[in-house]
Structure 1
Amino acid sequence: QLLKHISECFIKPKYEVHEAKQPYYLGPVDLAMLFAHYIQQGLLFTKPSNLGDEQFSIHELLQCLKKSLSLTLVHFYPLAGHLETQTDEEEGQKCLVFVDCNKGPGARFIHATLDMTISDILLPTDVPEVVQSFFDHDGAVNYDGHYRSLLTIKVTELLDGVFIGCSMNHALGDGTSYWHFWNVWSETHKAKLEESVPVLRMPIHDRWFPDGYGPPIFLPFTQPDDFVVSLHETPDQLRVRIFHFSSESIARLKSKANEETHNNNTTTRKISSFQALSALYWRSIIRALNLPHNQVTNCRLTTNNRHRLHPPLPKEYFGNCISALKTTTTVGELLEHDLGWAASLLHQSVINHGDKVVRDFINRWLKSPDIFKLEKLTDSYSVMMGSSPRFDMYGKEFGLGKAVAVRRGYADKFVGKVTCYPGYEGGGSVDLEICLTPDSMEALELDQEFMDNVSLFLKGYRIIE
């Protein structure tokens, strides 16, 4: 089935924002993200049969979403702008990339339809490829924000559901910032007011820079081709499947990892649920990849650094404050030891990742600015985790009740990529979206240690085996 494009428009902040008249400078990690894909995640809702005494109207929903988005953009005004680059060749080969908050038509808003049902999306074993069409900016990198919208909302009407997909330029914010935007938009939409809604957690747009640096920060390039190469392809054969882990399964994993850690007489005191789960999928995916035992393997965890800095940055800091925390061993060591041993390695990496490590990394980058290249962060013998089960995804409502599923688009899909979501039922349950080649996915599905922890979850249309 092909998605049918119905209409589109652009949305600007409802009120003039004084701060938007100034250039909006990007921080160190923001600039390093210019090569990465947009963040593409969205929520699938059941289409209400009626709302009180009124019949559901997609037209009314779209109008309300546009109004609330316009109000929300008053607080998140950079998302309505465009990227701009100024070059300065007289003082060396360098350029300045920033956001012109008044340039461009605003955030893009698309309405589309698809003659499929929620069951068509959720019941197949693998995530259907059509889900990628629920998002704008397919294959775009953040630098493309010079001529593409920095934010697009795409509302796709299914026969019995509504999918709200959001594509946000990753150079402007990380997952924490992304879901903060969703939260404020949801609050604003529920309030149904014509004027700005009081926001409990206002985004903080003052960019953080280490002492002695910025703003602004110049990059040592004058041509985009010097540092940006578009990524428009995923592997020809890539299976994407979601595995569900109930809160009970997670608790058992945590208990097992801690017991094995104690038996191994390691110095690790407390393995977290997330570390135990990460150890499980690291071991299981590497086993499925069937690699030589002397091969070095890494587990990279996308880590929020706001609370790791001293003094810490507030949760409301809007921008990128993340890094890929890397834990390294060999395939042989990883598979010959138990779950607790792998979890203790991850635990130690998390403990070591404090203020000094974060600042040292950023200071090194500032002395020699570079753009993150996907091939430097990924390889065919490691795993990488994105997103977080701590993000409140299911708390977002738009007059449609609680979402029935979270799905993401084309962005950052490669062999060994794991994306973590909170489970629908809450309580510490987790969904893992895993990307592998068909042969490796089949091996993972036959992996006893992994599948013994995967849970059957049946909720309405949601069935994950």
Structure 2
Amino acid sequence: MRVRLESSRIIKPLHEGIPPTTNHIPLSVFDKVTFDAHMAIIYAYHPPNPPNATLETGLRKALSVYREWAGRLSKDNDGEPIILLNDAGVRFVEASMDIELDQVMPLKPSAFCLSLHPSIQGNIQELVQVQITRFTCGSIVVGFTAHHTVADGQATSNFLVAWGQACRGLEIHPLPLHDRGIFKPRDPPCIEFEHRGVEFKNPKLEQFHPLLDEDVDGVAVDQFHFSLGFLAKLKAKASSRNGNDKSYSTFESLVAHLWKAVTKARGLSAYQTTSVRISVNGRMRMDPRIPNEYFGNLVLWALPTAKVKDLLREPVPYGAKLIHDTVANVNDNYFRSFIDFASHKVKEENLVPVVDMGQSVIECPNLDVSSWLRFPFYDLDLGGGSPYVFMPSYYPLEGTILLLPSFIGDGSIDAVIALFEDHLAAFKLICYELE
């Protein structure tokens, strides 16, 4: 199976009337602490599908509203990172395959996925890249890459929905909120929580553990489907100790189950400590609430932590409670404390972000969990209806778990999990066991 590249070019925003005069946007403290890397996602559509010219024009119209994507990362005169709003454009790639889409379905994260979107490795100037791959049956696969520094999952999914609206000749609605200057430190600052070791680290104190090539090569990725019935039983078990109190969410219950199962599959020492880094969207947690239309990054992390012996000995409600309580504590006070800390202490102490995809990622004995369950990725209608499949690309980053709604559309969940091969094999044997 070979993807044939037909063309690759830069396209620029299609402005109506006089182009905006704003020439740059400073990055917020949340942009500076997130992954400094391109991310890639993949959509698959059955026919009928609009021609590439329609997709290109729609993208250009959407870029006129979301100008950040057509800009470039740079620095101002003080050396502070900014997004240049110079309309330099995004990359638009046309490709094809001489087979029907069903011949590569079901599409799961694998090295083949890397051919369905432009490369995200190396010095890439464009902040967004799009590849349209057409199949002989009339189906298309849309590969989309975007730089995480510019926007998080919520903001990126909003842009994709806007692209679809533009392709269908609709007005883009709702419009994005572009002001990244709304996150101002308090005077005087009030740093109530410890942010060293959570969002920031001192590189001079970092303990480096060299990775062997065979360690990195030994990571495998697979996708697991958790049915609605399984999730209902799991949620009931996770909430069984709550009495009349509110039950844990499906997300909390599933993450607790996966945390315990992966820890068991890894065969960790009983007295090791294991934690889960969970992405927390600040839009619904800050007071006053930040609209979902905010365009940028607004994510911090919860770090529920346990001894391996406790996590494995206790039933799943133990992990669910740890997750629930730790995530609940990433509230408005925590976000405000982070803003104050990032604004006053990072430069003073020469700290750097903890998250780093520039190095080979080995999380063991920990996990890194991201949820795309509430993002409207399935709302990207380019003119022929909703996507048949939506998925991340191939990320062999050990210890990472990505949760996304199943394309079945019944509320079931797919989990994309990357582990060492022997750990993944052991996980497969126990991942559907309910205590």
Alignment partner of 2:323 out of 346, 359, 362: 346
Alpha-carbon contact 1:7-1:111 (below 8 Å) kept: yes
Alpha-carbon contact 2:109-2:223 (below 8 Å) kept: yes
Residue identity in the other structure for 1:189: C
The equivalent residue for 2:392 is 408
Question: Measured at CA, do residues 17 and 379 of structure 1 come closer, stay the same or move farther in structure 2, by a change above 3 Å?
Answer: farther
Alignment partner of 1:96 out of 80, 88, 91: 80
1:187 aligns with 2:165: yes
Deviations along 1:150-177, one digit per CA (max 9) or x if unpaired, are: 1111112234431101111111110000
Residue identity in the other structure for 1:181: F
Question: Measured at CA, do residues 44 and 186 of structure 1 come closer, stay the same or move farther in structure 2, by a change above 3 Å?
Answer: same
Q: Secondary structure at the match of 1:365?
A: helix
The percentage of aligned residue pairs carrying the same residue is 24
Post-superposition offset of 1:443: 0.3
The equivalent residue for 2:269 is 292
- Mean Cα displacement is larger for which, 69-78 or 358-367? 358-367
Q: Secondary structure at the match of 1:424?
A: coil
The equivalent residue for 2:41 is 41
Alignment partner of 2:409 out of 403, 418, 426: 426
Residue identity in the other structure for 2:369: M
Question: Measured at CA, do residues 415 and 268 of structure 1 come closer, stay the same or move farther in structure 2, by a change above 3 Å?
Answer: farther
The equivalent residue for 1:133 is 115
The equivalent residue for 1:73 is 63
Q: Secondary structure at the match of 1:136?
A: coil
The equivalent residue for 1:6 is 6
1:200 aligns with 2:150: no
The equivalent residue for 2:257 is 280
Query: 2:21, 2:221 → 1: CA distance?
Result: 40
Question: Measured at CA, do residues 123 and 14 of structure 1 come closer, stay the same or move farther in structure 2, by a change above 3 Å?
Answer: closer
Post-superposition offset of 1:202: 0.7
Alpha-carbon contact 1:133-1:409 (below 8 Å) kept: no
Deviations along 1:302-358, one digit per CA (max 9) or x if unpaired, are: 110111111111110000000121100111111100111111111111222211111
Question: Measured at CA, do residues 17 and 321 of structure 1 come closer, stay the same or move farther in structure 2, by a change above 3 Å?
Answer: farther
Question: Measured at CA, do residues 417 and 117 of structure 1 come closer, stay the same or move farther in structure 2, by a change above 3 Å?
Answer: farther
Residue identity in the other structure for 1:239: A
- Mean Cα displacement is larger for which, 291-300 or 345-354? 345-354
- Mean Cα displacement is larger for which, 268-277 or 308-317? 268-277
Post-superposition offset of 1:99: 1.3
Q: Secondary structure at the match of 2:381?
A: coil
Deviations along 1:242-264, one digit per CA (max 9) or x if unpaired, are: 111222222221111111444xx
1:359 aligns with 2:336: yes
Residue identity in the other structure for 1:200: H
Alpha-carbon contact 1:205-1:317 (below 8 Å) kept: yes
The equivalent residue for 2:33 is 32
Deviations along 1:46-88, one digit per CA (max 9) or x if unpaired, are: 2x2xx5xxxx6xxx62100001001111110111111122454
1:251 aligns with 2:232: yes
Query: 1:65, 1:203 → 2: CA distance?
Result: 21
Post-superposition offset of 1:212: 5.6
Question: Measured at CA, do residues 322 and 368 of structure 1 come closer, stay the same or move farther in structure 2, by a change above 3 Å?
Answer: same
Deviations along 1:116-164, one digit per CA (max 9) or x if unpaired, are: 543443348x633110222224235xxx5xx510111111223443110
Residue identity in the other structure for 1:279: A
The equivalent residue for 1:230 is none
Post-superposition offset of 1:375: 5.7
Q: Secondary structure at the match of 1:381?
A: coil
The equivalent residue for 1:177 is 155
Query: 1:119, 1:434 → 2: CA distance?
Result: 24
Post-superposition offset of 1:27: 0.6
1:22 aligns with 2:5: no
Post-superposition offset of 1:268: 6.4
Deviations along 1:154-209, one digit per CA (max 9) or x if unpaired, are: 11223443110111111111000010001111122122xxxxx4233110000132
Residue identity in the other structure for 2:175: M
Query: 2:406, 2:257 → 1: CA distance?
Result: 17
Q: Secondary structure at the match of 2:42?
A: strand
Alpha-carbon contact 2:276-2:304 (below 8 Å) kept: yes
Deviations along 1:204-253, one digit per CA (max 9) or x if unpaired, are: 0001322469xxxxxxxxxxx99xxxxxx992122211111222222221
The equivalent residue for 1:316 is 293
Residue identity in the other structure for 1:28: V
Alpha-carbon contact 2:27-2:81 (below 8 Å) kept: yes
Alignment partner of 1:398 out of 348, 363, 382: 382
Alpha-carbon contact 1:36-1:373 (below 8 Å) kept: no
Query: 1:85, 1:353 → 2: CA distance?
Result: 30
Alpha-carbon contact 1:268-1:347 (below 8 Å) kept: no
Q: Secondary structure at the match of 1:446?
A: helix
Deviations along 1:426-453, one digit per CA (max 9) or x if unpaired, are: 2321111111121111101111xx2247
Q: Secondary structure at the match of 2:390?
A: strand
Q: Secondary structure at the match of 1:254?
A: helix
Residue identity in the other structure for 2:9: C
Query: 1:327, 1:375 → 2: CA distance?
Result: 20
Residue identity in the other structure for 1:5: L
Q: Secondary structure at the match of 2:380?
A: coil
In the alignment, structure 2 segments of 5+ residues that lack a partner are 188-202, 205-212
The equivalent residue for 2:222 is 241
Query: 2:325, 2:111 → 1: CA distance?
Result: 38
1:146-157 matches, within 5 Å, as 148-157=125-134
Query: 1:402, 1:313 → 2: CA distance?
Result: 28
Post-superposition offset of 1:17: 6.4
- Mean Cα displacement is larger for which, 149-158 or 364-373? 364-373
Normalised by the length of structure 1, the TM-score is 0.80
Q: Secondary structure at the match of 2:83?
A: strand
Q: Secondary structure at the match of 1:394?
A: helix
RMSD across aligned C-alpha pairs, in angstroms? 2.6
The equivalent residue for 2:92 is 109
The equivalent residue for 2:183 is 209
Question: Measured at CA, do residues 17 and 356 of structure 1 come closer, stay the same or move farther in structure 2, by a change above 3 Å?
Answer: farther
Post-superposition offset of 1:277: 0.7
Residue identity in the other structure for 2:43: L
Number of aligned positions between the proteins: 400
Query: 1:402, 1:275 → 2: CA distance?
Result: 28
Question: Measured at CA, do residues 318 and 163 of structure 1 come closer, stay the same or move farther in structure 2, by a change above 3 Å?
Answer: same
Residue identity in the other structure for 1:198: E
